[in-house]
Amino acid sequence: MSLAKHASGIYHVWYTSKEGKKRKVSTRSKRKLDALVFMRSFNPDTYEKKVREQRVTYKSFLATFLPYTKTIYAHSTQEIYERALEHLRSITGDIPLSSLTAQHTDLYKVKRLQAGILPASINLEIRAIRSALNYALRWKLIDQNPFSGVKQLPIPDKAPAYFQRDDFVRLVSLIKEPWLKEIVLFAVSTGMRRSEITNLTWDRVDLARRVVTVESSQTFLVKAGKKRTIPLSDLAMDLLSKKTCDGPASLVFTLDGGPIRANWLTHAFKKYVRRAKADDGLKFHSLRASFASWLVIEGIDIFAVSKLLGHSDVKMTQKHYAHLRPETLRDEVNTISQLLPPDVSTLSTPENTSGH
């Protein structure tokens, strides 16, 4: 490093970057003594790092990260990232990415609550932001993730809403559109997600083995990227056997020969939920919850249900559905009875003989 006086009278420190380029930084002083003190404390690596961080704005990070999500995440997950990150930008503005602090995380929660967003949805958004900033951390765009360790908003335990069987039968009886009735029945008999059904192609269907394979393709990403095989019930087999295959890569479920958009399906389904006068909290995802709930109620092992749903951890299945059949734990708690004498309840209390 060297010190040089500019024409303005202000001293500058000259240094060589790691790339071998000569660069200078102002000491902001016309006194040589002060400039020398600045030079002795000046660290080129720290300075260069700070400059790089200032160049990476929140907006520029989104311009890189959001397109990247399209290559590794399902469409629904991409939407969560986009929604959460855009809401954060509306709060912070286009600040340097490194300027994000823990205060922004608290402000985010407050603003979203004030907007009437449910705590569960806010927690989902916070996890998305934290995940995005972990990418920024791995890409060395920031030194720390301010969303790490953020406490989730407390939410009461609530099992997924599912259809009572009478309500479901009434709902199906009201549906006039064949394409919608097929999908509703297929969803409740397989437990598949909406996007998994609307993106299902014939090359993933094996009628001979009575199975459907759910996996990612070039145009569709399965949630968490996890492949699973679902056995087909008689109802599901009957539905598929009546349909026409237009080729291995063609969609199984279509509307007027084209793909079924998520908003069409959601709108049409909700219309019939209202007509059936079912619980207003029921939605298309409730068909998946009904599949799991009905199986558990009928005594199907929770581990088998977890595998059919494609849950990464059986604890998730237990949390949502184990309460539907508490009697399945009766053998486990009966262990206590087996540890004690069979006549324990009839044993008499020995008399106190002390003092006699």
Q: What are the tens digits of pLDDT across the range 231-274?
A: 999 999 999 999 999 899 999 999 998 999 988 999 999 999 99
Q: Is 44 inside any structural domain?
A: yes
Residue 49 CA, chain-centre distance (Å), reads 33
Q: How many CB atoms lie within 10 A of CB 180?
A: 20
- Residue 324 vs residues 43, 84, 186, 290, 308: alpha-carbon distances, Å: 63, 34, 23, 12, 17
**pLDDT, tens digit (0-9, with 9 covering 90-100), for 317-332:** 888 888 777 665 556 5
The phi, psi pair for 255, rounded to 5°, reads -130, 115
Over residues 291-347, the pLDDT tens digits come to: 999 999 888 888 999 999 988 888 888 888 887 776 655 565 666 767 777 776 666
What is the extent of the structural domain holding 22? 2-55
The verdict on 134 and 22 lying in the same domain is no
Q: Is 96 within a domain? A: yes
189 and 322 share a domain?
A: yes
Contact 50, 42 (CB under 8 A): no
Q: Are residues 112 and 233 in the same domain?
A: no
Judge whether 345 lies within some domain: no
Q: Running DSSP on this structure, what letter comes out for residue 15? A: E
Judge if 263 and 205 occupy the same domain.
yes
CB 45 within 8 A of CB 58: no
First-last CA distance in the chain: 100
Residues 276-287: tens digit of each pLDDT: 988 778 999 999
For residue 291, give Cα distances in angstroms to 145, 182, 255, 343: 39, 15, 24, 44
CA separation, residue 137 to residues 134, 143, 144, 148, 237 (Å): 5, 6, 6, 11, 48
The answer to whether 162 and 289 are in contact (CB under 8 A) is: yes
In the block, residue with structure tokens 């000491």: 27
Position 126 in a domain? yes
Say if 354 falls within a structural domain. Answer: no
Q: Would you give the distance in Å from CA 329 to the centre of its chain?
A: 31
pTM, rounded to two decimals: 0.63
Pair 49, 65 in one domain: no
- In degrees rounded to 5, what are phi and psi of residue 296? -65, -45
Inside any domain, residue 302: yes
Q: Are 216 and 208 contacting, i.e. CB atoms less than 8 angstroms apart?
A: no
Co-location of 267 and 296 in the same domain:
yes
